[in-house]
Amino acid sequence: LTLFSSTSEDDARCYGPLSSTFTELSDEMGGSGRAAVIWDCLRAGIDPNLYYRNDSGIDSSDKAIVESWLEAMSADFDANDISLTKNDLLGKRKDQGLGADALSRLQKLMKQCRSSAACADDSVTESIHTIENSIGSISHIKVSADGTTKLLLRLARGYEVESVIIPWLDKGFSTVCVSSQVGCAQACRFCATGKMGKMADLTAEEILCQIYFANKVCRIVSSIAAAGDSATTLPPCDNVVLMGMGEPADNAVAVVRAVSTMADRRMFSLAQSKITVSTVAPNPSAFTTLGSSPAALAWSVHAVDDSLRKELVPTTKFSMEELKEGLVEALKSRSKKLRRTMLEVALIDSVNDSEKDAKLLISLAQSIMADVEGSKVVVNLIPFNDIGHPTYRTPSMEKVLGFQKIITDGGVLCYVRTTRGDEENAACGQLATSRSK
């Protein structure tokens, strides 16, 4: 069985162990039990290509992550004192193992995946095809004072992409902000990614490897905390937002497939309500396309007034009324538990933070809820994060809270997103890479 997809760039891609459906992987591996063993590893951020070999599962990248994390945290701690025991993470199947036939099948799948990716480094001579040399690897780690961790991933085909782990220590989980493209074609004026332009679509495998590496980092950082550095911790990843680099609607086939893997209880096993796909909505049908995925929808509105939205999102081709109707139709076709949606606004001082802007948001939210039975609309305010724009500024917290109060007084739920990781350019709107293939 050879599993290939076709991206929007008409570039043949192989579905590897991360992006194959559970049934496809079971067929490829010769049984669902083998697929389950592989996913016990992947879910914990462990490479089964290494774990089930005679070298006791040694993964050199684990130690490299420890060293990078300790350096980023300026921690006075010996990396050699940290135990990276993995067995306890793999549950009831930890002793089941993979036989020679299954490992051979897995290697064949990894080799196909690497070959189809048109890897930048074709001189790789490793005897084992791994996730790191076939899909992507961590190139750099940055950690903010609040623990927000930005991962720079170098893909096997040469591009670099960013994802962010946002820890919520009081809630006991972390959120992973995942990218869907390298760069973005939507050119939002307030977003660093938009300044890059679109460089490449990510495959489903490359989208999912961001969660794999986030889980790996959280697991390893927990080992550091267990070794005695109790001030250092990242709770397990329990929430995923596709709000990183790229516009999901411009890479919808890969995004929908990746989200299905996230929500599959046999795979990443995330609750559908804890996966959010955010779109600027290049066209009204974007909501229906992305709405076919088992996740909540978020709409990057930024302004309800058509002329102002065109200024902020210059690629806008449809009116807000047309886009709203697209969202309404998509929500009507969804189950009631997935009819909750967010309207997102990057709030910029003296640009889109007036009383008029707030009241237009109230009207938009109320009209959606009136048109869709059982729907719930929440406004999410994101104070502008500096990207070096010559005139855009972050509004004062007094203005942000005043804007929020107008909306809540109008009967619409409204939250202000806590800015996380801005000193390391890991906050919303600040993700961008400088190196390409």
Q: Would you name the residues annotated as active-site residues? A: 162, 428
In whole angstroms, what is the distance from residue 317 CA to residue 340 CA?
Answer: 26
Tokens, residue 108 = 């064949």
In the numeric block, the tokens 């060293």 are attached to: 67
Bridge partners, residue 300, by sequence: 344
Length of the chain in residues, anyone? Answer: 437
Backbone angles phi, psi at 253, to 5 degrees: -60, -45
- For CA atoms 378, 185, 277, 154, give the dihedral sign: negative
Tokens, residue 414 = 């409204």
Cβ atoms 241, 176 nearer than 8 A: yes
In whole angstroms, what is the distance from residue 303 CA to residue 244 CA?
Answer: 20
Bridge partners, residue 341, by sequence: 297, 377
318 three-class SS = coil
The three-state DSSP-derived secondary structure of 387-422 is CCCCCCCCCCHHHHHHHHHHHHHCCCEEEECCCCCH
In whole angstroms, what is the distance from residue 148 CA to residue 201 CA?
Answer: 26
Distances (CA, A) of 127 to 55, 133, 322: 13, 11, 54
